[in-house]
Structure 1
Amino acid sequence: MELTERILKGDRRAVARAITLIENDATEKDELLQELHKHTGNAYLIGITGPPGAGKSTLTDQLLFLLRKQGLKIGVIAVDPTSPFTGGAILGDRVRMNDHALDPGVFIRSMGTRGSLGGLAKATKEATRVLDAYGIDVILIETVGVGQSELDIMNVADTTTVVLNPSAGDHIQTMKAGIMEIADLFVINKADLPGADKTEREINNMLDFIHDFDWRPPVLKTTVSQPASFQAMWEACCQHRTFLQENGLWEKRRKQRRQDEIVGIIEDRVQSRIRHWIEKNPSWQQILTEVEAGEKNPYQVADLILEWYNTSNCD
């Protein structure tokens, strides 16, 4: 496939085109991803999540400056919420990271959630495959920032960073049943504001109640006025990566993600084919009428459709 060859040769336009095909669920995307698969698995994926207003985009921007100075090739996938009315998204992260727009060593892509829950767009995981094959060293994935539903990132990133701000006390209380448990690293951003030390104590106190983690997430403070604070964050990420690799958890996590990805592909394809069968089957409306009349129940119908699927593949 010509597009595959262009991506592997470092063609930025080909990468942008490929991600567009993925977002639009184009028919050729499966062939593309199959061809790219053997060239993936080298990039380090860092998830950046947390509540709105925590400064995730600013933190990502600072990391870009830092990592580019180290000569690393960086990809950014910034997920923005999609309007339920227009279907559009603000996609403002590329504007906020405008200083990097012309840097050939940085590829930034914003994408709307398009109705997906969990803080990520449906196409996020597949987009990381394209960037990985393109030769990106570190992929920063900035989630939409919707609070406790931001759990999808743990199934994509190697290291998940939860970003909070000094006034995060209420957020911590609401998140502790969910997002707090997915963090590999806590970052209190805007740490030059009042309350940073208090927030740090609150997070550490909560971590003290958790005794079953192999890796205790470090709690760091960052501020734009102190560039060294972002260096400390990057070093903590690298320490986490080393921890995973030395304890066999790196491959274990990635193997689990591959399994989840395969199951997800199967579910999508089965669902798509069953919906196609429903749309073209003339007896479907009669089946619904029988369910409404109590002559059949939904479980019987579901079993019947699955039986048809297994015997005829719904063709």
Structure 2
Amino acid sequence: MNADERELLDALLAGEHRALARTISKIENRAPGYRELVSALYAHTGNADVIGITGSPGAGKSTLVDKLAETYRERGETVGIIAIDPSSPFTGGAVLGDRIRMASTIGDMDVFVRSMSARGTLGGLSTATADAVKAMDAFGKDKIIIETVGAGQNEVDIVRTADTVAVLVPPGSGDSIQTLKAGILEIADVFAVNKADRDGADRTVQELREMLHIGEGVDFGGSGHHGADAMADDGTEPTAGTGDGNGAENGNADADAGRAGNDTDSPAEWTPSIVETVATDGTGVDTFIDELAAHRSFLVDSGTHAEKVRERYAEEIRTLLREDINTLLETELEEAGGVEDLAEAVRTGDTDPYAIATEVLSPVAACLEEATVQARGLESESDADRQ
């Protein structure tokens, strides 16, 4: 790490927002020296609570994130927001649409908002997102909220980056819930039926419960008026509220029972909760935050948080290896004449893709084998010295 990068790191750790912005820009642009900078951040991370907010387009994600940040600030916590926007077809950068709907905390230096481009990744998050989270974590943000694009089933990378994932579902989703079933809905730790003051909120909550097999003898930890106990004596669904949390006490009690599991010897499992919110006026946001906090506590108390972090780092290692190997292979391809020339050779029948792949990979594989042999030799010498 050179002197400029060291100075930038020191400024970030000292709490200078300008340094945080510059660091994230360096990370997103993959500028020279960014890897050394990110490596130095790791020693200062692990304290932030990372929350992912996802859901279908139009669910109100940006408005709810804005209210979350405002409420966290009222509770004295600092907030970092990463809004993953669609990629511009011209520049590849973020379109910046989400920033327009986050106005409540403008001017509050303890709320740092950064738009980042998805850069066409199927999982909804660019590789730089995880590094930007580390920058905010090292900076000292208490809560880091990642708002995804809202592309649909493919948007599941958030599970590998966030500690807690909330999926927003608008009222009247109907068949779209089934459409999302195989993907995005299965990643939720908390469901938020946003815009719950609109018609269809009751039905949407019921559909979510049925899809998760909530009504089949499994206690469910919803909040508001839709906890597992919120059924009338005749078995019918009571009139839905708008997530004001009046039933939270009983709902949370059921949540504790359901999440603990019926068998005390079985591993602890988290049962997703359903919260009704109206982001435009903040209704249900406090209850929503309480459910997010409950999941965070569950992760820590059950020991699954350490497992999630380990899996996160394992995926980061795989991602970095894929990126680096891809760069090496691109270099080999250029030395072999470039992809276009190789493709022309395939077209004319001079060779085939498999033969080209074998030829390009051979020197890389040879280098890896040689490095492995050397590493084993050094390890053997070290063992001999210790003996």
Shorter-chain TM band: over 0.9
User: Which residue does the alignment assign to 1:257?
Assistant: 312
Q: After superposition, give the CA deviation of every residue in 1:244-303 in whole Å (9 maximum; x if it has no partner).
A: 112211000110010010111011001012102222344877654553344533223222
Whether the 8 Å contact between 1:73 and 1:137 is mirrored in structure 2 is: yes
User: Which residue does the alignment assign to 2:355?
Assistant: 300
SS of alignment partner, residue 98 of structure 1: coil
1:264 and 1:307 map into 2 onto residues whose CA distance is: 22
Pair 1:70 & 2:75 matched: yes
Pair 1:3 & 2:42 matched: no
Summarize the Cα distance change of 1:300–1:281 in structure 2 as closer, same or farther, 3 Å threshold: closer
2:306 and 2:203 map into 1 onto residues whose CA distance is: 37
1:94 and 1:285 map into 2 onto residues whose CA distance is: 41
User: Which residue does the alignment assign to 2:373?
Assistant: none
Whether the 8 Å contact between 2:333 and 2:360 is mirrored in structure 1 is: no
1:63 and 1:241 map into 2 onto residues whose CA distance is: 16
Aligned letter for 1:238? Answer: A
Identity, % of aligned positions: 43
Pair 1:223 & 2:278 matched: yes
1:68 and 1:50 map into 2 onto residues whose CA distance is: 24
Give the alignment partner of residue 125 of structure 1, picking from 130, 155, 180.
Answer: 130
User: Which residue does the alignment assign to 1:247?
Assistant: 302
SS of alignment partner, residue 99 of structure 1: coil
Aligned letter for 1:6? Answer: A
Whether the 8 Å contact between 1:94 and 1:101 is mirrored in structure 2 is: no
User: Which residue does the alignment assign to 1:233?
Assistant: 288
* Structure 2: gaps (5+ residues): 1-5, 219-260, 262-267, 369-387
Summarize the Cα distance change of 1:87–1:261 in structure 2 as closer, same or farther, 3 Å threshold: closer
User: Which residue does the alignment assign to 2:324?
Assistant: 269
User: 1:197: Cα distance to partner?
Assistant: 0.7
Whether the 8 Å contact between 1:101 and 1:108 is mirrored in structure 2 is: no
Aligned residues: 313
1:124 and 1:204 map into 2 onto residues whose CA distance is: 32
Whether the 8 Å contact between 2:53 and 2:165 is mirrored in structure 1 is: yes
User: 1:138: Cα distance to partner?
Assistant: 0.8
1:238 and 1:283 map into 2 onto residues whose CA distance is: 52
User: Which residue does the alignment assign to 1:208?
Assistant: 213
Q: After superposition, give the CA deviation of every residue in 1:183-211 in whole Å (9 maximum; x if it has no partner).
A: 11100001011110100000000000798
1:90 and 1:283 map into 2 onto residues whose CA distance is: 33
Whether the 8 Å contact between 2:277 and 2:285 is mirrored in structure 1 is: yes
Aligned letter for 1:169? Answer: G
Aligned letter for 1:16? Answer: A
Aligned letter for 1:252? Answer: E
Aligned letter for 1:305? Answer: V
Q: Which moved more, 1:178-187 or 1:226-235?
A: 226-235
Summarize the Cα distance change of 1:292–1:100 in structure 2 as closer, same or farther, 3 Å threshold: same
User: 1:228: Cα distance to partner?
Assistant: 5.3
Give the alignment partner of residue 184 of structure 1, picking from 189, 193, 199.
Answer: 189
SS of alignment partner, residue 125 of structure 1: helix
1:283 and 1:151 map into 2 onto residues whose CA distance is: 34
User: Which residue does the alignment assign to 2:86?
Assistant: 81
SS of alignment partner, residue 145 of structure 2: strand
Whether the 8 Å contact between 2:63 and 2:280 is mirrored in structure 1 is: no
Whether the 8 Å contact between 2:94 and 2:115 is mirrored in structure 1 is: no
Whether the 8 Å contact between 2:332 and 2:360 is mirrored in structure 1 is: no
1:91 and 1:103 map into 2 onto residues whose CA distance is: 19
1:76 and 1:262 map into 2 onto residues whose CA distance is: 24
1:27 and 1:197 map into 2 onto residues whose CA distance is: 53
Pair 1:97 & 2:102 matched: yes
Whether the 8 Å contact between 2:83 and 2:115 is mirrored in structure 1 is: yes
Q: After superposition, give the CA deviation of every residue in 1:85-132 in whole Å (9 maximum; x if it has no partner).
A: 553532022232233131121110011222222222332111101000
Summarize the Cα distance change of 1:145–1:285 in structure 2 as closer, same or farther, 3 Å threshold: closer
SS of alignment partner, residue 329 of structure 2: helix
User: Which residue does the alignment assign to 2:113?
Assistant: 108
User: Which residue does the alignment assign to 2:172?
Assistant: 167
Q: What are the equivalent positions in structure 2 for 1:10-159 lying under 5 Å apart?
A: 10-85=15-90, 87-159=92-164
2:12 and 2:351 map into 1 onto residues whose CA distance is: 52
Whether the 8 Å contact between 1:166 and 1:195 is mirrored in structure 2 is: yes
Q: After superposition, give the CA deviation of every residue in 1:223-245 in whole Å (9 maximum; x if it has no partner).
A: 14764511111111111111111
User: 1:84: Cα distance to partner?
Assistant: 2.6
Aligned letter for 2:43? Answer: K
Aligned letter for 2:104? Answer: D
Q: Which structure would you say has the larger RCO, counting Cα contacts within 8 Å and 6 or more residues apart?
A: 1
Summarize the Cα distance change of 1:285–1:232 in structure 2 as closer, same or farther, 3 Å threshold: closer
Aligned letter for 2:117? Answer: G
Taking structure 1 as the reference length, the TM-score comes to 0.93
Q: Whose Rg is larger?
A: 2
2:142 and 2:212 map into 1 onto residues whose CA distance is: 31
User: Which residue does the alignment assign to 1:278?
Assistant: 333
